[in-house]
Amino acid sequence: MIPHKLVPSSHGVDVRHSFAGAALVRPLSRRSALRQFGLAGLSLFAASALAPAMADEIVGLPLPSGPRERPTTHDFPQKGHMILQRTRPPLLETPMEVFDRGVFTPNDQFYVRWHWAVIPNSVDVNTFRLAVRGHVNKSLSLSIAELLKMPRVELAAVNQCSGNSRGFYLPRVAGAQWAHGAMGNARWTGIRLKDVLDLAGVKAGAVQVRFDGLDEPVVTDAPDFKKSLDIDHARDGEVMIAFAMNDEQLPLLNGFPLRLIVPGWYSTYWVKMLSDIEVLDKPDDNYWMAVAYTIPDTPHANIAPGQTGVKMVPINRMVPRSFLTNFAEGSSFPASTPSSVRGIAFGGDNGVARVELSSDGGKSWRPTALGKDYGKYSFRQWETKLALDKGNHALMVRCTNLAGDTQPASPNWNNGGFMRNVIETVQVAAA
């Protein structure tokens, strides 16, 4: 047990107030951290950081190599049972069984991913302001109350991390070692980004719109996390500023009070704690657009490991995926008994046309029945009955979207571990 007072902690922080009225928690300066570490006597801390006191239990992710074990936790605010990938800044994964319980992912089990550790732990909705500025006729500073008076829209959409399933990449790549739970589906309620931009009046010559949230790097000259969309995309009437998910205000760790919703696009663009909208008259060359979250400009963003000299482009539209949710890897299946096999699928930037199942390693495919359609950007449940002879079977599930894109039979690879959408296989033992 670590003596509490010797432990550097994000409770030992300076609290300051930002322009937006949110209290920012700034972790210890390096100097004070060093002082505290030095006092602690480093050799005392032999306990594994993988088994913190906060762990509820250890789960095994079906990754191709270790470490597969992750603690689960209930220790994050407004969050229930989650798989702990990183404590600070938080990376929390949704357990697969949550996707078996319904087409919408509950807020308290919706995955969490932050880049920088300076995350406001308090937001006052009365003083919070959303700035709209840059290449506009009139800069705006909008309160939550003003935003709530604007025409309201609602949309079901999947939010998926660019690196969801990165842990399955072979060869393995550095980064968050997610299984498949860095995704979720919610009903987002908010206002159209277009309406907010129209209120400010976009000037001729606008090229992109850049989005920034309240989170900040610990080191002040590190690149603040900002993302941009092309102006036509930003004004397409689908991109939203959400203030509610699944009919409740956003959990703080999912972006309270406002989050950008970019239907059909990877979550890197869904800026959390959205506080600043800047219309640009030239393309955004900031690190998070020009370098980070770029993918090879090749089919399926696929290259050979070690391949260099490839043109890179910002990651963008999602691609179809599907998952079996009521049988985990290696689970047993009742032999010779027709059993329900079910799961979820999404079409990426288009609706789900069909989901098919194979129980013979992909040689033959059978159709499945699709559940209620909540719109082209939502999860879609699928189900079929299957009887299996005694023995081991590889169950594969494949989604085709309304544009005719089908999940590929072989996995892609790139240095970032982005855009996995290979047909997934679950091994079951019928007995």
Partner 1 sequence: MRKQLLAIGCLSAAMLAATPALVQGLPSIKSTTVDLPPGDSMFPGGAAADAINNNCLACHSADMVLNQPALPKATWEAEVHKMIHVYKAPIDDADVPAIVDYLASMKGAQ
Question: Binders of partner 1 among 309-368, rule CB under 8 A?
Answer: none
| Residues of span 190-219 touching partner 1 by CB under 8 A | 217-219
Residue 18 binding partner 1, by CB under 8 A:
no
Please, how many CA atoms are within 13 Å of residue 405, restricted to the half-sphere of its CB?
A: 19
Contact 101, 129 (CB under 8 A): no
- Which residue's CB is nearer to partner 1, number 48 or number 410? 48
Closest to partner 1 by CB, 310 vs 429, is 310
Q: Does 65 bind partner 1 (CB under 8 A)?
A: yes
By the rule CB under 8 A, 230 interacts with partner 1: no
Q: Which residues contact residue 33 at a Cβ distance below 8 angstroms, ignoring those fewer than 6 apart?
A: 8, 27
Q: Determine which helix (DSSP H) or strand (DSSP E) holds 195, and give its type and residue range.
A: helix 193-200
Between CA 253 and CA 175, with CA 23 as vertex, the angle to 5 degrees is 40
DSSP 166: G
Q: Which of residues 23 and 370 has its CB atom nearest to partner 1 in the complex?
A: 23
Q: Is the Cβ of residue 292 or residue 429 nearer to partner 1 in the bound state?
A: 292
43 counts as binding partner 1 under rule CB under 8 A:
yes
SS3 148: helix
Give least dist CB 56 to partner 1, A: 13
Closest to partner 1 by CB, 70 or 380: 70
CB of 242 to partner 1, least distance (A): 11
Which H or E run includes 16?
A: strand 14-17
Query: Could you say whether residue 45 binds partner 1 (CB under 8 A)?
Result: yes
CA 178 – CA 160 distance, rounded (Å): 11
Q: How far is the CB of 339 from partner 1 (least distance, A)?
A: 34
End-to-end CA distance of the chain: 45
Q: Which stretch binds partner 1 (CB under 8 A): 39-47, 262-270, 348-356, 363-371?
A: 39-47
Residue 181 binds to partner 1 (criterion: CB under 8 A): no
Rounded Cα distance between 12 and 264, Å, is 40
Query: Is 290 near partner 1 (CB under 8 A)?
Result: no
Q: How many CA atoms lie within 13 A of 423 on its CB side?
A: 23
Candidates 62, 80, 103, 124; binder of partner 1 (CB under 8 A) is 124
